[in-house]
Amino acid sequence: MAPSEKSRGGEAVVIPGGFAVLSLQFSADSGSQHKLYVKEHRVRVETRTHRPLDRTLFLLNVPPYCSQSTLSHIFSRFGAVVSVELSDRPGSAPAPEVKLSPLFKPAGKQGFKVGYVVFRRAKSIRLAKSHPHNVPLLVSTEQRLVTTGLQKWAQQYRQAIVSPEELQQSVDAFMLQYDQRKEEQAKEQEKEAEEQKEDEEGWVKVTRASKGTKARPHSEAANQKAIQKETRKKKRKELMNFYTWQHRNTQKEHIADLRKKFEEDKQRISLLRAQRKFRPY
């Protein structure tokens, strides 16, 4: 059960910006404290349903040794915690999800973060903001130990070691999914190629394009042909007639070729006329 405000000693401290100051102490034996700044999460453009504006507490200056489970345990003294979210910077945009196996996920960014704590009741927000700044919140207790420093590094190192059997199973599962995707793509391409083939009368089925665009066969093969055609066209134009004198010389050579062909055609025509002339003797 969450303690009431009157049962606590001291007063809450509120700094400019509406943030209340909470003191964090790593353990009962620690001599230093860390300041955590909290306030009620109220953003007009917030559209995410899992951050209700009346039950979400926004945290600043969250230390690296505080994980989601640790924050959930710390703030559970003010009321039941529904969820805890940590991020590198504040914002309503969702963090990009890395679709990788847990064995290949990169290590998270280390440093101070911002957090969002969602309570089950709105009363817990008021209790957390009114907590006295001179009464520190313990991070690591006998009931719930939090490792840090060399112990944390050794624990992460041991967890990073994967058995060959588990690694082989993960690789096999990934390759199986990859082969299935490739087979589906090949079947779709074959189906589109069959649809784009000409029938007996020479007609080709095309899809309806958007207004103002020219309809064309909608298939991967047709797209590849169009891309190859554009690439060849660009290569032909590449570095041709780059300078003015090159363009002028090209025009002169073209005119000379036309004149040469004209003279050859004149000689050919005169020869044909001479061969058709009537000669009685």
In the block, tokens 């003294």 appear at: 77
143-162 pLDDT tens trace: 888 878 788 888 878 877 88
Assess whether pLDDT exceeds 60 at residue 129. Answer: yes
State the pLDDT at residue 221: 65
**CA dihedral of residues 125, 65, 92, 53 (deg, nearest 10):** -10
> What number of other Cβ atoms are within 10 A of residue 77's Cβ?
15
Tokens standing for residue 221: 């093969």
**CA dihedral of residues 111, 116, 117, 118 (deg, nearest 10):** -160
Q: Dump strand ranges (E) for the chain.
A: 14-15, 19-25, 34-40, 56-62, 81-87, 113-119, 137-138
CATH hierarchy code of domain 14-160? 3.30.70.330
Residue 140 to residues 37, 65, 85, 186: CA-CA distances in angstroms?
19, 10, 20, 55
Query: Considering only CA atoms, which of 206, 227, 204, 203 is closest in space to residue 215?
Result: 206
Assess whether pLDDT exceeds 80 at residue 19. Answer: yes
Mean pLDDT confidence for 20-33: 89
State the pLDDT at residue 181: 92
175-193 pLDDT tens trace: 999 999 999 999 988 887 7
With cut-offs at 50, 70 and 90, classify the pLDDT of residue 127.
Answer: very high
Residue, of 196 and 68, whose pLDDT is higher: 68
> Do the strands 34-40 and 56-62 form a parallel or antiparallel pair, or are they unpaired?
antiparallel
With cut-offs at 50, 70 and 90, classify the pLDDT of residue 2.
Answer: very low
205-243 pLDDT tens trace: 665 655 555 555 555 666 777 888 888 887 776 666 667
State the pLDDT at residue 163: 85
Query: Considering only CA atoms, which of 226, 217, 167 is closest in space to residue 192?
Result: 217
Mean pLDDT confidence for 130-138: 89
State the pLDDT at residue 250: 84
Cα–Cα distance measured from residue 166 to residue 172, given in angstroms and rounded to the nearest whole number: 10
Cα–Cα distance measured from residue 57 to residue 18, given in angstroms and rounded to the nearest whole number: 12
59-103 pLDDT tens trace: 999 998 888 999 999 999 999 999 999 988 887 555 555 566 666
Assess whether pLDDT exceeds 50 at residue 280. Answer: yes
Tokens standing for residue 188: 């779709």
